[in-house]
Amino acid sequence: MNPLKLKASTTPITSANFQGLQTMSNVEVKNYIANKITVGFAGAVGNGSNTADLNIDTANALSGTAIGTFVDTDRTEATGTHPATGAVDTVTYYAKQITANDTGTITNRPLQYDAAIQQMTDAQIRNDIIDQAVTAMVTESEYTAGQYRLAGSAPTGGTWTSRYTITDVANGGNTTYYLWQKTAATTSPNADLRPLKTYSGNNVKQMTDTEIQEMIPYFRNRIISTSIGTYKIQASSPSPGTWVSMGSASDTREQVASVNYTGSYAGTRTYSNVAYAGTRTYTPAGYANTFAGTRTYSNVAYAGSRTYSNAAYASSFAGNRTNTYSGSRTYTGSYVTNFAGTRSFAGSRTYSANYILYYGGFVGGTFAGSRTYANAGYVSASTNFAGSFAGTRTYANVAYSGVYAGSYTSTYSGSRTYSANYSGNRTYSGTYANSFAGSRTYSGSYSGNRTYTGSYSGTYAGDTIQATKDTVSTVSLWVRTA
């Protein structure tokens, strides 16, 4: 049963047009009574701490029941940073609605007619007045205030007051969202629609705005007990019930993309089994390094030519040599050997017999050919023969097998071509210094650390903080309407 009002033929009501008392319609309840209750609800001192109020903070320190969060993420690196890690800072906004019971009481009660004029009970006030005021607010009647919205700028219609802020932080500029509350209605109510109350016994009169607003605690508690007029902050519509979006806020963040880069780099890069194929060019530069260790070759084929120019070679050899030689060697110089006999001549003789040569303790060999002696001198039997020999010795399949111990020192100029396999170990210990100019091509894998200091000029593809942004998440403020 709705409250009573004054009935008149026209407005404003005067003694001349007064016609008696009349029960208010639902539209009339939502016009004036709902206006005064919701405006008082929105304009109460201490907003954010009274029953059914909303509040938001980042410390999660305000009282109330959690209704959702907004999470803002922000790149820790400036736009253009390269290479970038893509790290972010995170700030969480905690939204709550106060659900504690309001203990306010009513001393001025509206009148109703139910077989007689009587004051409305608490249950009748809640069911017949407060429920209609809550519905008018959540459906945004033009005569009501009190509803909340989440937006970057004030909504239209009436007066909106910013209660709390949410900031989407970004390199290119922040975006601020506000939790707005409507504090003045879009349309002013009809003052002739005031409900009636008793006074001075059985007399009746219209209620003042202050007396009507005594019902605000009932309004607050009714929102919590029925859930109509409660709010949530989340991405999708809550359930159960009917929920309407009252605005939204988005978290945005700069994109990270791989781009080409030219600039300076100083630091350490670690490679693990990184395949490298390419060419490196060195300009004449000294290289000095010390190497000590062993290299092992197994059946390493070598074919090529080494050219010596007056290169001294000194080596000692001890062991067995077995070889077959066929060809000619030409000597120019002094020849010293052992000769036993009595011979003195100058000319040419041809031998086809065994020739005994004393060489390192070994006797043997077959000689066939000619020797030409010039100015050959003879000293005595069983002594050395000294003279000059010039000519050619021809060996045909002369096999030599024996042991040689001693040192050979000589100078060799020319080219030798080797084609053979080498198997064994070579140990190097010393310093190598040389200059190299040219290009070397590598193909293989590298694992280890390389430290660069200085400027790097070239093209490098890596992660870079972009100016363009992605929307990471969006949440809406939802109000329950049924």
440 vs 96, 289, 436, CA distance in Å?
A: 69, 19, 10
What integer pLDDT is reported at residue 52 of this predicted model? 98
- Using DSSP, state whether 139 is helix, strand or coil: coil
Residue 216: which H helix or E strand, with range? helix 216-226
Q: Are residues 349 and 402 both part of a single domain?
A: yes
Q: How many domains does the chain have?
A: 2
Q: Which of 125-129, 271-275, 350-354 is predicted most confidently?
A: 125-129
Residue 136: CB atoms within 10 Å = 26
**Where does the pLDDT of residue 201 fall: very low under 50, low under 70, confident under 90, or very high at 90 and above?**
confident
Same domain for 300 and 214: no
Q: Residues 152, 290: one domain?
A: no
In a domain, 269, yes or no: no
161 forms beta bridges with: 181
Q: Is 111 helix (H, G, I), strand (E, B) or coil?
A: strand
Please indicate, yes or no, whether residues 240 and 385 belong to a single structural domain of this protein.
no
Domain match, 246 and 103 both? yes
Same domain, 196 and 102: yes
291-302 pLDDT, tens digit each:
455 555 455 454
Task: Give, in degrees to the nearest 5, the angle at Cα 298 between 292 and 301.
Answer: 105
The amino acid occupying position 367 is F
- Interatomic CA distance for residues 320 and 149, integer angstroms: 105
pLDDT single digits (tens) 228-250: 999 999 999 999 999 999 999 99
Q: Is 273 within a domain? A: no
| Inside any domain, residue 298 | yes
> In terms of domains, do 199 and 341 share one?
no
Q: Tell which wins on pLDDT, 368 or 138.
A: 138
Lowest mean pLDDT among 28-32, 376-380, 474-478: 376-380
pLDDT of residue 446: 55
Together in a domain, 230 and 311? no
Indicate whether 237 and 346 sit together in one domain: no
Convert the pLDDT of each residue in 52-104 to its tens digit. Answer: 999 999 999 999 999 999 999 999 999 999 899 999 999 999 999 999 999 99
52 falls within a domain = yes
Which tops the pLDDT comparison, 110 or 388? 110
140 and 185: one domain? yes
Structure tokens at 9: 């033929």
* Within-domain flag for 272: no
pLDDT given for residue 334 in this prediction: 45
| pLDDT mean over 108-126 | 96
The percentage of residues in the chain with a pLDDT greater than 90, rounded to a whole number, is 54
Confidence category of residue 46, pLDDT binned at 50, 70, 90: confident
For residue 366, the enclosing domain spans 286-435
> Is 262 part of a structural domain of the chain?
no
- For 168-197, the pLDDT digits (tens) are 999 989 999 999 999 999 999 999 999 999
Q: For the chain, how many helices (H) and strands (E)?
A: 6, 23
Residue 345 falls inside a structural domain: yes
Question: Is the confidence at residue 407, as pLDDT, over 50?
Answer: no
- State residue 11's pLDDT score: 86
Q: Please answer whether residues 100 and 86 qualify as being in contact, where contact means their C-beta atoms are separated by less than 8 angstroms.
A: no
Q: Which residues contact 413 (CB under 8 A, 6 or more apart)?
A: 308, 309, 310, 311
- 277 CB-near residues (< 8 Å, 6+ apart): 441, 442, 443, 444
Quick: pLDDT tens for 419-437.
Answer: 555 555 655 455 545 555 5
**What is the value of pTM for the model shown?**
0.60
Same domain, 341 and 397: yes
The residue assigned the tokens 């975006």 is 175
Query: 293 and 242 in one domain?
Result: no
Report helix angle 216-226 to 34-42, nearest 10.
Answer: 80
Q: Residue 406 — pLDDT band, cuts 50, 70, 90?
A: very low
pLDDT tens-digit series, residues 118-166: 999 999 999 999 999 999 999 999 999 999 999 999 999 999 999 999 9
pLDDT at 174: 96
Domain membership of residue 338 (yes or no) is yes
